Structure 1
């Protein structure tokens, strides 16, 4: 092994630049969405978004309201994907019970809960405003 070989990254994907990097990154992102679809919680949220995202355009009275409503739905999906990635990484380490693994999974679940509370609160507030005479 020469001195130059040690300077190469362990992952050859890191050598990509420009459009090749963008193309491959998009492929990885799509693979992540497909993997997320295999998770029941993400699938439920994605199906709900099919209804909620168009409804945001009806419910929102300005582009700011529409952006907040759609953003809150997308935030739930983002947090769910991050939670699933944490759970997957922990499960890869091993199936045995460990307090730190439980703590990480619980915190991920709490993050999902908080994103759902935020989303629900925004939608309830927007509905209440819309239904006022």
Structure 2
């Protein structure tokens, strides 16, 4: 069964924006991380470090948002499959949260390294 529509740049962009608006309406974690991202981007612009260091901070900051989006997708799929408590469903959600935690930790470590060694 193939329910995948034919590729269309405009329709695919519409789907992506639809997903973004859904996440902005429903996911508090993403909204909070997006708010932090605004301040982080301003800080990256202001901080006096090399372009490479700024790029590392920007990439790891955006990576946090990307991983949070993937975590939200995992949580939605798990909720679609079962509303009842299931150990594997909990594990899937916990692993997604761990990925976000690791990504945030990586971003913080990059900030520390840039500040201490730049």
The TM-score with structure 2 as length reference comes to 0.90
| Corresponding position of 2:72 | 84
Aligned-residue offset at 1:10: 3.4
Note the aligned Cα RMSD (angstroms). Answer: 1.7
- The residue correspondences of 1:56-71 to structure 2 (distance < 5 A) are 56-59=44-47, 61-71=49-59
Q: Which segments of 5 or more consecutive residues in structure 2 lack a partner in the other structure?
A: none
Q: Does 1:35 align with 2:22?
A: yes
Structure 1: state its 5+ residue gaps: 1-5
Deviation at 1:54, TM superposition (A): 2.2
User: Secondary structure of 1:97's match?
Assistant: coil
Which residue in the other structure is 1:74 paired with?
A: 62
- Give 1 or 2 for the bigger CA radius of gyration: 1
User: d(CA) in 1 for partners of 2:31 and 2:78?
Assistant: 21
Give matches, 1:104-123, under 5 Å: 104-123=92-111
CA distance in 1: counterparts of 2:113 and 2:99, whole angstroms:
21
Match of 1:10 among 3, 13, 19: 3
Structure number with greater CO (CA < 8 Å, separation at least 6) is: 2
TM-score, reference length from structure 1: 0.80
2-side partners of 1:111 and 1:128: how far apart?
Answer: 26
- Measure, in 1, the Cα distance between the counterparts of 2:95 and 2:89: 10
Give runs of ≥4 in structure 1 deviating > 3 Å. Answer: none
Of 28-37 and 79-88, the range deviating more from structure 2:
28-37
For these two proteins, the number of residue pairs brought into alignment is 117
Deviations 1:82-132 (A, max 9, x none): 0000000100112111111111111001000000100111112222235xx
Question: In 2, Cα distance between the equivalents of 1:99 and 1:51?
Answer: 37
